[in-house]
Structure 1
Amino acid sequence: MLEIERKFLYSGNIDDPTLAGAEVCLLIIQWYLSLPDARRLRLVVSPGSSKMIETVKTGSGLVREEKEREIPLETLHEMACRLANERAVVKARYVYPRKRLEGVIDRYFVPNIGFVIEIETSQTRNVIPDPWKFWDLPAKYFIEVTNNPVYTARSLAITIDNTVRPLPPNIPFVEPLQRWRFERYLSIVYG
């Protein structure tokens, strides 16, 4: 599938009403397997479900090709030792679908870099709007990093020490059961 995406760092505060406008808030850990293995394994926990997704992306910047498939959750048990030593990112993702576009606000916890905002489409005809218009947030807090390889999630990923708590105590619009399930899955890998 074709992925056309603009990515921004956001240095301002995002208030609860903006976050409350999301269709869903997901808790995500993405492991980036060591090269030459180019796969990304993503655990996604929503309020009502949990799943693992294997992804391979090619290309860089604005336009990339992405191949995804759902894999069994048992993969966590099978690969736990390997995943514990791979680099990862942990984030809450607030999802905003709109007319052939999808906007996401990612709050990164590991590494703790704050908000990364993306707007994407798979249609080459679609124009991706500026994020300050998509969310009605102040333009002065956005820095576009679409073509900066330092800000790909693979580049940002770090090895998680099993003494680090990857989630802060309070995450707006994350349900207690959702958080409990996410932390339970993480304990399979990190003890």
Structure 2
Amino acid sequence: MQEVIIGKEGTQKFPINNSRVSRQHAKITVSDSGQWTLEDLNSTNGTYIIDDNDELVQIKKVSITEFTRVVLADQTSMGFTFFAQHVVEDDPQNYKAEFQYVLRIHDKALKEKAEIDAKIQKKNMMRFLPGIISAVIGLLLTLLLPFNQKVYGVAVTALFTALLQVIINIYLGKDSKLKDFSNKYSNKLTCPCCSKPLSEIEFKNQMCSRCKAHA
């Protein structure tokens, strides 16, 4: 079994100097069977995790995974945030495992974004239907109606176009998929060290431009 005390005077290999973190703030235990547990050690400002819904949840003692994001005190610069896995990393400057985890999420996000874009593109093509259908109907009425009745054909075509446009707009509505996508991934595609949102170049290089953490 492996046990790591986390805090300004903890046994973790990386330093923590943040003002709201207690000397011995929390404890992570990894059992021989690979079960991870996080426990708050009666810290002054609390221990939290980011759950699957990206919500900050205060804990006393909870089962976690190696890639649970742990928050000591708060998410400001006075608190401290890290992936649980980092406490068992021999080299505190090595973020390879965490970057690979975030990169897997990034790849999943890219595939999901491509699917959303494809669906939106198909839906947007429907906006051309009223014009196309109206043009066909107008042409048929022009050819089939007597000259003195063509004005009625124009009126029918205009009314049908307007009605069809309203129906399609109601059907398409406001697409919330992109907003939901952004909410789902915005807090996951961040640097495992400083939590800065990572750019595509940073994902490619697997290095954060702000804190220089790297794989």
Both structures adopt the same fold (TM-score exceeding 0.5): no
**More strand by proportion, 1 or 2?**
1
Give the TM-score normalised by structure 1: 0.25
**More helix by proportion, 1 or 2?**
2
Give the TM-score normalised by structure 2: 0.23
Q: Larger relative CO (CA 8 A, sep 6+): 1 or 2?
A: 1
Q: Which is greater in Rg?
A: 2
